[in-house]
Amino acid sequence: MSIEIHGHVAPGFEPVRDAFEANFAERGEIGAAFCFIQDGETLVDIHAGHADRKQTAPWTEQTIVPVFSTGKAITALTVAWLVDQGRLDYDAPVADVWPEFAQAGKGAVTLAQMLSHQAGLPGYPEEMEPSDWFDRELMEERFAAMAPMWPLGEGTGYHPISFGVLADAVVRRADEHGRTVGRILKHVIAGPRGIDFQIGVPESDHARAAEHVLPPRAPNLGTMNAQKEAAFLKPWSSPGRRGTAAWRSAELPAANGHGTAKALARLMAVFATGGLLDGERLVSRETVAAALRLRASGPDRVLPFDLAYAAGVMINRDSGHYGPEPETVGHYGFGGSCAFADPERAISGSYVMNRQMDVLVGDERATALINAAYGCL
């Protein structure tokens, strides 16, 4: 029996609906949504399936889903807004706004280098409690004092959780009101426009959140090293021991953003259109260009790939992870979600789901939808 698909598909984009249906029929999808926008026109906005593990609650247009590292792209957008406000500078040292960060030889690390995973802080190697991640000030103190795990200028190493601690520390110190990434999203960027994406979800919205189903196996990280162990494999490498409700409510800008596919696609349109959000200017073209500029590339020390990083997002190049355009930027999240922006065609989009797979980037469910959408242009 075919899955019932809800939402909007523009004439000529029926192959995207077919690819979405195939994800359920052939790839074990439980619940998912996909959105594809070009020049302010929503060409595809569809959802289907179930929001819970038992498959009793339908996935609706109000269902929000944790997107894990896909949210890093939205954190990068928040930083870009502060750069455009003149509160931050990609090429200035992080220590200019966070003096304590200069400890242990980190005084020269720039904001762009930190956002492009060059700071050498992919995780905290010394024993701690998994619940310590919920203590913002404590983790900031630890990373400010920590010595880098490799010298600046000697490549990248993906920062799965620490990226959010570092970015939020800079954002709070730079914002004139001392707001967090989540507060700026709520009060300046997403909230006033009714864009349904949050970092730090109030309890009143928890019932809307889809339950994620863990992948069948751990992702393959390749040959092990100390950086990968700190980032992913220590018992304290990710937030824990507080429960799901506390995790949803916390502000963890690298890992626990919740929202809809359409919300992510709308936000990513800022990177796709040279700074426009819902047709209104949020940041300048110059700031967008700086945000999307190549900052580092090559074999990553943590993820088993050759990657290209801008200031908080990955650059597609010839990977095909975000469609055919090499200049497209985006981010994947644990389990398969993704958001992307194509500045050459003014396209933005997102795929979200609750059944996680063991693919670090380029989940075949996402790429099938993205490629189908591009094929309809």
Note the CATH architecture for domain 5-317+336-375.
3-Layer(aba) Sandwich (3.40)
DSSP string, 224-239: --HHHIIIIISTTSS-
Crossing angle of helices 285-292 and 72-84, in 10° steps, is 140
Rounded (to 5) percent helix, strand, coil in the chain: 35, 20, 45
From residue 327, give the alpha-carbon distance in Å to each of 77, 79, 229.
17, 20, 31
CA 224 from chain centre, in angstroms, equals 24
**Both structure tokens of 79:** 């930083």
Q: Find tokens 């992080």 and name the residue.
A: 94
Q: How many residues does the chain have?
A: 377
**At 2, is the pLDDT very low, low, confident or very high (cuts 50, 70, 90)?**
confident
**How does pLDDT run across 99-128, given as a tens digit for each residue?**
999 999 999 999 999 999 999 999 999 999
Over residues 258-286, the mean pLDDT reads 98
Assigned token pair, 366: 């996402």
Confidence check: pLDDT of 193 > 80: yes
Q: Are strands 31-38 and 197-199 parallel, antiparallel or unpaired?
A: unpaired
Residue boundaries of the structural domains of the chain: 5-317+336-375
Q: Please determine, for residue 333, whether its predicted confidence score (pLDDT) is greater than 80.
A: yes
User: What pTM did the predictor assign?
Assistant: 0.98
